[in-house]
Structure 1
Amino acid sequence: MSNQPDNPWHLTLTRSRLFRFLLTNRYVQPAVHVIMVTLFAWAIWTAFTGPQNPDTNFGSVAFFSLWWSTVMLVSLVVLGRVWCYVCPMGAIVRFTQRFGLQRHFPMFTGPKATVFGISLSVLSITAITFLFARMPMYKLGMVFEPRLVGIYFLAFTALAVGVSLVFQRQAFCRYVCPASGVMSVTSKLSPVEIRQEESTGVQCATLEYQSDYLSTERRCVSCMKCTTEQPKADVGLRVRWPGAAAVRQKIALPDEALLVIVLWAVFPIDHVLGGRVAELIAMSEPWPSVLAYFVSVFAAIGAYSGATALGSRWSGLEWEPSFTRFAYAYLPFSIMYMLGNHVVTNLMTEGGALVNTFFAGLGVPLNLPEALASPSTVAAWEWFNATIWPWLGVLWGIALVWYSATQISDSPGQAIRAIAPHVLLVCLSTAWIIGVVTVPGFGGH
């Protein structure tokens, strides 16, 4: 976006003394980290010692019902990578890496692995960790066993500490953390970004770019080095079209496209296909659910690869640029599916009870009603979520893929031929997922 001060979609945050202090004072973020790590430790402790009902255990509610399902998903879409600023795991990594070997994370700059005809790099690790991090939550039932929740996050903490004791510059956060991988793509949907107004000459702590703004939406871990070392440089809040960062990115990465398709697989597709496939597998639990989970992933990748191959052949566009750029057609619906079916619905029906449990775990009793919305409001939302809401995500995705296609094609006709299979796939799959179209044995909800 333009750096012109007269940009009408622009607000200089550091004109406010409060925001300048929060963004440029080097002691603010460490203070936030102390609070967040304390909450993180307390959540793990109560997961083991508190009531073993996931609806009343502070650790279970804090980690899954409020943190991941609500705070993370909403912030990913609205505020980009802002979670990295307060992440307790990131704070632990920053502290422990001071005592580590300070080695560079292997970037495998030589010949890259080729999968489906595209060159993947070390960045694909986050897609793998996301797959295997999410699987035990819901396929092995960890979300229903508070003690398992405690074990889960202790294991992730041990992994983060182990990586940071070997590698420098928050390698865990940039290349291993599953949440960071998700943020690298979902942040591109954010309608706002926070960035410095001019090149500061401060080298980014990730060594991946010469920092001239706060957030690049890719591998930024909000370490704030670029603002705390140049406190006189202004920091601006800029409004952009939602998804503009996905269309305008200068270096599109196949790894991130693959991660987008993985999100499409594990969010909407597995919720429908996974259950149907599991019913066909004659094995004891949890293996049917686990196998069905990976069937959904491979089915999504295969369907997307097939649509890309068809569009590439029909339009004459090269395979890898098509594979890399057109994946964002599937991201808006994937995120909106989770928001509509889990976040908004859960907050409406049991948000008050979740907040009561959270604050009770902190010793602050509240008495909010269990539901935050009336039955009529919930019914209205459920109708909207089943009819209009999904198609808004589809239209959003089609708009993104159309603008991406126009950037790599020679004519509108070529762009239409390139994306036509994807438009058809995203429309048909959405109709199937929400139950408008059914397949015998594999129908929608």
Structure 2
Amino acid sequence: MENGRTNRDKGKYDLLQHDAIASFFKNRKTQFLFQLPAALFLAIVVVAGFFGTQNSNLNLATISIWVIWWSLLIISLALFGRVWCFMCPFGATGDWVQRRAFYKKVNDVFSLNRKLPARFRNLSLAAIFFLVITWADFQFNLVNSPLNTAYFIVVLLAIIVIVSTIFERRSFCRYVCPITGLAGLYSMFAPSELRAKEKETCKTCKEKYCISGNEKGYPCPVFEYPGTMEKNTHCILCTECAKTCHRSNISFNLRSFAGDLLTLSKTRTDEAIFILMLLGVTVFQTLIMIRPWAGLTTDLMIYTGTDYDSVRFMLFIAVAASPVLVYSAAIGISKLLNRKVIFKDLFMGYAYSIIPLGLMMHLSHNLRHLLEEGTGIIQVISDPFGSGWDLFGTSGYMPAPLLNSNNILLIQWLLMFIGLGFSMSVGRGVSRRMSRENESAYIPVLVFVFIFFVFNLWMFGQPIMHKH
């Protein structure tokens, strides 16, 4: 080993080679010191939602959650992976209830410790939860209601407590959390990873404390085994494996962007479908903000004779499902061009090449919210309940966008081109791995990617009607 790198992992730099960083990771109090402020802030948000003004522009609940947190979450996934999961107050609540301790290692847990039924050990529950929340936002204007935001947080906390007292470890975080699919798939793009240093060391280890736990830490809360882990999808960076590994065989590496996607060998159908669904939802969330959307909705109501809510629901389903349908057609053509590879393998393999473009679409969408509306937090943080307080002397601040629309549009387009470049690079890699003799099978998928790339450039250029 030299300068934190091994011959096998050239281009990666292990931060845990530094004693101070390693000690920080292994200290049982470290995660709690990040979780506690997040939990306290969440409590303030709930109180603001229930008892503060119901003007969404003046209430901490709506501004902090739907403008600031959601935007920063997408940015953090692209840059740091699932670092939010490390400090998430929702996951922490489940841990604290189960363990009846904030950070100390305990042997007995307050849970029935049942396994989630095998048919649900995938992204199906998370996908349904994610779609329900997206529709609830659209139907009940969740992002503009401090009260509904508070109710949503309380209901989510209740679900976590119930799941944690019935099922083992962080079953909620792995299989149920509405953002676990989004967070896991987007984090594959991040330039960091937690991995085993040497896979051979894991193979020869008989104790395997990383999956069984010991006096220094718990078994992996999300059922991962560092010895075979090759992607960021499920790792929540809790660092329990770094605490329990008696061979110090855990590394936290800095690497190139899209590292997982460029070397991926294991694919899953549920992840492929979630990638496409996520693409459709992101398109939908942008569509409903542009002016042509109102005209389309009105025209459909007239032509079909259907009421407003029914038309909106049909459009939601159509837009969310459209990537799956169009992509399936593209894969069907790919199958004709490459008969040696079965449809399912083509479907799963190429789906991961869409992640960079989908991530940049999502990031571009939320970046507009952050840059145009994020400054509202300056006023709200001084008067979180909209009740006349002026804690920091900024309650009278008149928020103005950080950038004008033209500059934001340039950034959005730049991000889209970055996403396109990475998606093409990943797609070519997938094509070479599946069939070196016939890479033409990637052409239909490339057309699919270009269609959504161009469509999003058009959407971002349309006049915006803000939801917030």
State the TM-score, normalizing by the size of structure 2.
0.80
Q: Provide the C-alpha distance between the structure 1 equivalents of 2:179 and 2:401, rounded to a whole number of angstroms.
A: 28
**Stretch deviating more after TM superposition (149-158 or 348-357):** 348-357
Distance 1:165 1:437 in 2: 44
SS in 2 for 1:178: coil
Report if the CA contact (8 A) 2:174-2:222 is conserved: no
Match runs of 1:251-290 below 5 Å: 251-269=266-284, 271-272=286-287, 275=293, 278-279=297-298, 280-281=300-301, 282-290=305-313
How many angstroms apart in 2 are the aligned matches of 1:86 and 1:65?
Answer: 19
Pair 1:20–1:8, CA change in 2 (3 A): same
Q: Does 1:373 align with 2:384?
A: no
Equivalent position of 1:331 in the other structure? 355
Where do 5+ consecutive residues of structure 2 fail to align? 99-108, 212-218
Q: Which residue in the other structure is 1:420 paired with?
A: 443
In the TM superposition, what whole-angstrom CA distance separates every residue of 1:170-223 from its partner, at most 9, and x where no partner exists? 111000001111122111111222345344732142474433499941322333
Q: Which moved more, 1:38-47 or 1:423-432?
A: 423-432
The correspondence of residues 49-68 of structure 1 with structure 2, limited to 5 A, is 49-68=51-70
Identity of aligned residues (%): 20
Alpha-carbon deviations, 1:117-143, whole Å to 9, x = none?
A: xxxx63322222211122212342111
- Are the aligned partners of 1:58 and 1:358 in contact in 2 as well (CA < 8 Å)? yes
Partner in structure 1 of residue 94 of structure 2: 93
Structure 1 residue aligned with 2:317: 294
Partner in structure 1 of residue 193 of structure 2? 193
Name the aligned partner's letter for residue 124 of structure 2: S
> Which amino acid is 2:55 matched to?
N
Q: Which residue of 2 aligns with 1:146?
A: 146
Structure 2: how far apart are the matches of 1:213 and 1:369? 53
Q: Which residue of 2 aligns with 1:76?
A: 77
**Would you say 1:103 and 2:114 are equivalent positions?**
yes
- Structure-1 separation of matches of 2:334 and 2:265: 22
Rounded to whole Å, the distance in 1 between the matches of 2:228 and 2:86 is 15
User: Contact 2:286–2:459 (CA<8 Å) still a contact in 1?
Assistant: no
Q: Name the SS for the 2:193 alignment partner.
A: strand
Which of 10, 29, 40 aligns to 2:31? It is 29
Q: Matched residue of 2:140: which SS?
A: coil
Q: Which amino acid aligns with 2:402?
A: A
Provide the aligned C-alpha RMSD in A.
3.2
In the alignment, is residue 210 of structure 1 matched against residue 225 of structure 2?
Answer: yes
> How far apart are the structure 1 equivalents of 2:369 and 2:315?
25
Contact 1:307–1:422 (CA under 8 A) maintained in structure 2: yes
Q: Residues 222 and 241 of structure 1: is their aligned pair in 2 closer, same or farther, counting only changes over 3 Å?
A: closer
Structure 1 residue 77 displacement after superposition? 1.0
- 1:240 is the counterpart of 2:240: no
3-state SS of paired residue (2:194): strand
1:14 aligns with 2:16: yes
SS at match of 1:434: helix
Q: Are residue 402 (structure 1) and residue 437 (structure 2) matched?
A: no
Distance 1:359 1:287, change over 3 A: farther
Instruction: Give the Å deviation of 1:415.
Output: 1.8
Q: Distance in 1 between matches of 2:418 and 2:231?
A: 27
C-alpha spacing 1:323/1:154, structure 2 compared with 1 (3 Å): same
Residue 23 of structure 1 deviates from its aligned partner by 0.6
Shift of 1:168: 0.6
- Mapped contact 1:212–1:226 kept (Cα < 8 A): no
| Structure 2 residue matching 1:193: 3-state secondary structure | strand
Any idea what SS the aligned residue of 2:266 has?
A: coil
CA offset at residue 25 of structure 1? 0.3
Contact 1:434 1:444 in 2 (8 A): no
- Find the residue that maps to 1:152 and give its secondary structure: helix
Cα pair distance change 1:366/1:402, threshold 3 Å: farther
AA partner of residue 403 (structure 1): G
How much has 1:18 moved relative to structure 2? Answer: 4.1
Q: Deviation string for 1:261-285 (max 9, x for gaps)? A: 0111010255338937633144444
User: Secondary structure of 2:28's match?
Assistant: coil
Deviation at 1:101, TM superposition (A): 1.1
CA shift, 1:242, in A, is 2.2
Distance 2:86 2:222 in 1: 18
- Counterpart position of 2:336: 313
- Higher relative contact order (CA closer than 8 Å, sequence separation 6+): 2
Return the alpha-carbon distance in structure 2 between the equivalents of residues 225 and 105 of structure 1.
21
CA distance in 1, matches of 2:409, 2:460: 19
Q: Which amino acid aligns with 1:20?
A: A
| One-letter amino acid matched to 2:331 | T
Tell whether the 8 Å contact from 2:286 to 2:365 is kept in structure 1 after alignment.
no
Shift of 1:429: 3.0
How far off its partner does 1:320 sit?
A: 0.7
Cα 1:277–1:308 shift into 2, 3 Å:
farther
Q: Are residues 322 and 342 of structure 1, via their aligned partners in 2, closer, same or farther at CA, if it must alter by over 3 Å?
A: same
Q: Compared with structure 1, are the counterparts of its residues 143 and 338 closer, same or farther at alpha carbon in structure 2 (3 Å cutoff)?
A: same
Q: Give the superposition deviation at 1:307.
A: 0.8
Aligned-partner Cα distance in 2 for 1:148–1:285: 22
> In the TM superposition, what whole-angstrom CA distance separates every residue of 1:363-397 from its partner, at most 9, and x where no partner exists?
8526477346354xx533324534x4423322221
Number of residue equivalences: 421
Q: Distance in 2 between matches of 1:241 and 1:51?
A: 45
- 1:221 matched residue in structure 2: 236
Deviations 1:326-382 (A, max 9, x none): 112332222212222332x3333333322442465398526477346354xx53332
The CA deviation at 1:247 is 3.5
Give the unaligned 5+ runs of structure 1. Answer: 110-120
Tell me, yes or no, if the aligned pair for 2:196 and 2:227 is still in contact at 8 Å. yes
**Bigger mean CA offset, 77-86 vs 15-24:** 15-24
Query: 56-65 or 31-40, which moves further after superposition?
Result: 31-40
Q: Is 426-435 or 72-81 further displaced after alignment?
A: 426-435
Distance 2:247 2:380 in 1: 43
3-state SS of paired residue (1:27): helix
- In the superposition, the TM-score normalised over structure 1's length comes to 0.84
Q: Give the counterpart letter for 1:268 in structure 2.
A: V
1:73 alignment partner AA: I
Query: What SS does the corresponding residue of 1:365 show, helix, strand or coil?
Result: coil
Task: Tell me which moved more, 11-20 or 400-409.
Answer: 11-20
User: Would the aligned equivalents of 1:435 and 1:444 in 2 still touch at CA under 8 Å?
Assistant: no
**What is residue 39 of structure 1 aligned with on the other side?**
41
1:103 corresponds to which letter in structure 2? R
Residue 458 of structure 2: SS of its match in structure 1? coil
Q: What SS does the aligned partner of 1:435 have?
A: helix
Q: Please report how far the alpha carbon of residue 21 of structure 1 lies from its aligned counterpart in structure 2 after TM superposition.
A: 3.2
